[in-house]
C-alpha cells in the first residue's frame, strides 16, 4: 500500500512541474534582461583583472616564479570577458522574443561559462595559494543572477563539480590540500544549487501569485462592467432601461438646445399584449418583446436612443429630427411590426403597436418631462382611435 506521504509528495511534485512550465518563459525573459545589464558589469570586471595581470606580467623580472600565474590569469580573464561579451550580445539579440528556446540555452551557456572560467582561475591559483574562493563566488553568483529550473541547475552543478574535481588535480600536488579543496568544492556546489532552488521556488511562487491577482483583478473588472451594463440596460431586451434613457435624453436635449436642432420622441405601446401572455404564456410574451426591441434598434439610426420604459412600452429618442421626419420613422416601424410574425414553438404571433410622437423644435427649450408628456398624450389618442397607428 502506498504511503500517504509519498502520495502527497507526488502530487506536490506534479503541481510544481506544472507551475515550472507555466513560468518558464517569464523566467527566461527575466534572465535575458539581467544578462543584458549584468553582462557588461562582469565583462568590465574581467577587463580590469586582465589589465592588472597584463601589467604585472610585463613588469615581472626574468626568472620570476609567479610569471606563469600572472600570465595564466591574464589569459583566463581575457577569455572569460570575451565569452561573456558574446553571451551579452546574444541576450540583446533575443530581447524582442517572448518565447525562445535559444534564450533558455543561452542562460545555461552563460552559467556554464562563468563556472568553467572560475574553475580555471582556481586551478591557476593553486600554483601560489590553496584558495578556491573564485569557484565559491561563481557558484553563488550564478544562483543569484539567473533563475534556473531545478533539473537543469542540478545537471549544471554536477557537471561543474566533476570538471572542478578533475581539473584541480592537474595543478594541486599536495594530497591533503587537494582533498580539502575537493570537499570544499562539493560544499560550494551544494550551496549554489540550494540557493538556486530556493530562489527559483520564490520566483515561481511570486509569479503564480501575481497571475492569480491579475486574474482576480480581471474578473473583478468584468463583473464591474457587467454590473454597469445591468444597471444601464434592460435585462430582457438589452435596450437602455428607463433611468438610463431619461439621463441620456436630458443630455441630448441640452445639446440640441445649444446646437439649435430639433429633437423628436417616439413612444410606442404594444397592442393587446396581455392577450399574448394570457394565451401563450409569459415566455411567448418575452419573445415578442425581444423581437420588438430588435426591430426598433434595426429601424432607427445608430445615433438614436432606444429604451424600454417597462412592460410593453418602448421609447425612441431621435436627435436632429423634425416632427414630420419622426412621424415617418414611426410609421415605418409600425409597418414593420405589423408585417412581423413572432414564431414561438411553431405558433405565429401577430404584433402591432400604437405610437405617440412629440417633437421639440430648434427654437424651443423643452425638457424631457414635457416632451414625454406630449408623446404620452399622443399615444393615448392613438389607442383611442383604434390602435396600430401613429399620432
List per-residue pLDDT tens for the chain, 391 residues long.
457 777 666 776 677 777 777 788 888 888 889 999 999 999 999 999 999 999 999 998 888 888 999 999 999 999 999 999 999 999 888 877 656 667 788 999 999 999 999 999 999 999 999 999 999 999 999 999 999 988 999 999 999 999 999 999 999 999 999 999 999 999 999 999 999 999 999 998 888 888 888 888 888 888 887 776 667 888 888 898 888 888 888 888 888 888 888 999 999 999 999 999 989 999 999 999 999 999 999 999 888 999 998 889 999 999 989 999 999 999 999 999 999 888 888 889 999 999 999 998 877 778 889 999 999 999 999 999 999 999 9
| Cell numbers standing for residue 188 | 560550494
Burial (0-12, 13-18, 19+ Cβ within 10 Å), 261: middle
Question: In CATH, what is the architecture of 242-384?
Answer: 2-Layer Sandwich (3.30)
DSSP string, 187-204: HHHHHHHHHHHHHHHHHH
Q: What is the pLDDT of residue 177?
A: 95
Give per-residue burial for 127-166: e unless 16+ CB within 10 Å, then b: eeeeebebbbebbebbbebbbbbeeebeebbeebbebbbe
Residue 229 pLDDT: 67
Q: Rounded distance, CA 100 to CA 105, Å? A: 9
| SS3 (DSSP) at 310 | strand
Q: Give the model's pLDDT for residue 217.
A: 87
pLDDT at residue 133, as a whole number: 95
pLDDT value of position 99: 61
Beta bridge partners of 313: 269, 310
Q: Where are the beta strands (DSSP E) in the chain?
A: 263-270, 305-310, 313-319, 341-344, 347-350, 353-360
- Provide the b/e sequence for 18-27 (b: ≥16 CB within 10 Å): ebbeebeebb
C-alpha cell at 63: 626568472
What is the pLDDT, as a whole number, of residue 101? Answer: 67
CA distance readout (Å), 81 to 46, 88, 113, 179, 371: 5, 10, 10, 30, 82
Q: What is the pLDDT of residues 228-247, one digit of tens each?
A: 666 788 888 889 888 888 88
CB-CB contact of 266 with 316 (8 Å): yes
Residue spans per domain, the chain: 4-218, 242-384
Q: Record the cell numbers describing residue 330, joined without a space.
A: 414611426
Give residue 1's pLDDT.
47
| Beta carbons within 10 angstroms of residue 200's beta carbon | 21
- The Cα–Cα gap between 80 and 87 comes to 10
Amino acid at each position: 500500500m502506498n504511503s500517504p506521504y509519498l502520495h502527497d509528495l507526488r502530487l506536490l511534485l506534479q503541481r510544481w512541474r506544472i507551475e515550472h512550465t507555466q513560468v518558464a518563459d517569464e523566467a527566461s525573459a527575466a534572465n535575458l534582461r539581467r544578462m543584458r545589464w549584468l553582462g557588461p558589469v562582469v565583462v568590465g570586471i574581467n577587463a580590469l583583472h586582465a589589465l592588472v595581470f597584463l601589467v604585472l606580467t610585463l613588469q615581472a623580472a626574468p626568472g620570476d616564479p609567479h610569471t606563469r600565474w600572472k600570465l595564466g590569469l591574464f589569459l583566463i580573464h581575457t577569455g572569460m570577458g570575451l565569452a561573456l561579451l558574446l553571451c551579452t550580445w546574444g541576450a540583446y539579440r533575443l530581447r524582442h522574443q517572448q518565447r525562445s528556446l535559444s534564450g533558455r540555452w543561452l542562460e545555461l551557456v552563460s552559467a556554464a561559462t562563468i563556472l568553467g572560467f572560475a574553475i580555471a582561475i582556481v586551478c591557476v591559483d593553486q600554483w601560489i595559494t590553496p584558495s578556491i574562493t573564485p569557484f565559491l563566488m561563481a557558484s553563488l553568483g550564478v544562483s543569484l543572477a539567473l533563475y534556473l529550473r531545478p533539473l537543469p541547475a542540478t545537471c549544471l552543478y554536477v557537471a561543474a563539480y566533476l570538471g572542478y574535481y578533475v581539473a584541480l588535480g592537474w595543478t594541486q600536488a599536495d594530497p591533503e590540500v587537494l582533498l580539502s579543496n575537493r570537499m570544499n568544492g562539493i560544499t560550494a556546489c551544494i550551496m549554489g544549487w540550494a540557493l538556486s532552488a530556493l530562489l527559483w521556488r520564490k520566483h515561481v511562487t511570486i509569479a503564480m501569485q501575481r497571475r492569480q491577482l491579475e486574474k482576480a483583478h480581471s474578473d473583478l473588472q468584468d463583473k464591474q462592467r457587467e454590473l454597469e451594463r445591468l444597471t444601464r440596460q434592460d435585462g430582457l431586451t438589452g435596450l437602455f432601461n428607463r433611468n438610463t434613457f431619461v439621463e441620456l435624453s436630458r443630455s441630448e436635449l441640452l445639446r440640441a438646445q445649444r446646437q439649435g436642432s430639433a429633437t423628436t420622441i417616439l413612444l410606442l405601446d404594444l397592442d393587446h399584449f396581455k392577450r399574448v401572455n394570457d394565451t401563450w404564456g409569459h415566455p411567448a410574451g418575452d419573445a415578442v418583446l425581444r423581437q420588438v426591441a430588435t426591430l426598433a434598434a434595426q429601424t432607427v439610426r445608430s445615433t438614436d436612443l432606444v429604451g424600454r420604459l417597462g412592460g410593453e412600452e418602448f421609447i425612441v429618442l431621435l436627435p436632429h429630427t423634425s416632427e414630420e421626419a419622426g412621424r415617418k420613422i414611426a410609421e415605418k416601424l409600425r409597418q414593420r411590426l405589423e408585417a412581423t410574425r413572432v414564431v414561438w414553438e411553431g405558433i405565429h404571433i401577430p404584433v402591432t403597436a400604437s405610437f405617440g410622437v412629440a417633437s421639440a423644435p430648434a427654437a424651443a427649450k423643452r425638457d424631457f418631462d414635457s416632451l414625454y408628456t406630449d408623446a404620452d398624450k399622443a399615444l393615448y389618442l392613438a389607442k383611442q382611435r383604434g390602435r396600430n397607428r401613429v399620432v
